[in-house]
A = this chain, B = another copy of it.
Amino acid sequence: MQTIGGQKMLFSELTNSRLWKMSGRLKDAGPELFTLKDRHNHHYILSPTYEEVASDLLSLNPPISYKHFPLKVYQISSKFRDEMKPRYGLMRGREFLMKDMYSFDIDETSAKDTYNEICTSYDKIFDRIGIDYVKVLGDSGSIGGNLSHEYQFKAPIGEDCIITCNKCNFSANSEVCHEKKCPNCGEQENVLVQTGIEVGHTFLLGDKYSKPLKAFYLGKNAKPQVLQMGSYGLGLSRILAACVELLSTETDIAWPDVLAPYNVAVIPPKAGSKEEQVTKDVPENLYKLLEDSIPQLKDNVLLDDRLSLTIGRRYLDAKRTGYRYIVVINEKSSGEKPTFEMNDTKETDRLYLSQEELIEYVKQNTKF
């Protein structure tokens, strides 16, 4: 978000209902909107999304000059939706973490450019996460606008239907999962229908919110003109839950490398063991070496110093929690040619590597 010029901020989670009245969304929102009143009987909503609030921020007098656009603001915060059927823990909760961005441009052409730029950055984020996903034409739903795209993790437990036509390459969120007919070209044979988990959604909104909320810029002619807007959401807590759902087994969690709490766990021998006596500073030194040798491992290596526990117990804990590489220190890890037991939880074989080989292995196999 920073790389593409996003400016981080934090909106309040309570939104005055007045703003949602201005956009017309208050009456359409229905029971999914949490509402409350303060001690003065003023009405508020617990915000599920911030198109109105972001527009309101730009409804300044005098408006900002055309020179300062595009403007992209984003936040990471809790959002609220009174779901009829909350389920699967963080997958569909009534309170969830979302990264949302709002873009403002002076005309439709530049708004489209900004939209594409931000979508490209979303593509990169999902490519790095590495879960099999599909980007489809979105169902604009209650947010509306001219164009929208959804990022969907392919998943059997997904609640959304994705229709993909192999004839015309059209791909979209489909209201009805049983219908096997391309909405674009009418093809009925080469059509794939699969379920997905919606993890991101982008909207090119035009002036749907900026006009009623009076989000204007000051044009070259020194007159206020309506801004063109985009809105972009990433479901952070849902992405985490979906990763656990899709990558884990009954007993062990697995994470995409970029999302793991730590990539490497180093497990020293148990206190009082003979291995402990011969290895001394080896665990700490390896820990430091890993952090120093690979920039992405900075603050990303765990030294499990619960030395009162057996190696086996700590190994199981590491596997369960989802640290990809579990390095066990044993009596062969000291001396002239020290080797380390490397367990890559993505592979079945256990490896015995020198320090140099260990670092090279992590470098080569991790998708940072």
* A residues adjacent to B (C-beta < 8 A): 10, 12-14, 31, 34-36, 38-39, 46, 77-78, 80, 82, 84, 93-95, 97
Contact = CB atoms under 8 A, between A and B. Distances in A.
Contact of A80 (B14, B35, B93): B14
B84 A13 contact: no
A31 B41 CA distance: 11
A76 B40 CA distance: 28
B39 A36 contact: no
A82 B44 CA distance: 12
Contacts of A36: 34-36, 46
19 contacts: A10-B97, A12-B78, A12-B93, A12-B95, A13-B13, A13-B95, A14-B34, A14-B46, A14-B80, A14-B95, A31-B39, A34-B36, A35-B36, A38-B82, A39-B82, A39-B84, A46-B46, A77-B78, A78-B78
A95 B95 CA distance: 17
Given A14-B34, A34-B36, A38-B94, 12 more contacts: A10-B97, A12-B93, A12-B95, A13-B13, A13-B95, A14-B46, A14-B94, A14-B95, A35-B36, A36-B36, A39-B84, A77-B78
Nearest to A78: B13
A13 B77 CA distance: 11
A13 B79 CA distance: 10
**10 smallest beta-carbon distances between A and B, as pairs:** A36-B36, A31-B39, A12-B95, A39-B82, A38-B82, A14-B95, A13-B78, A34-B36, A13-B95, A35-B36
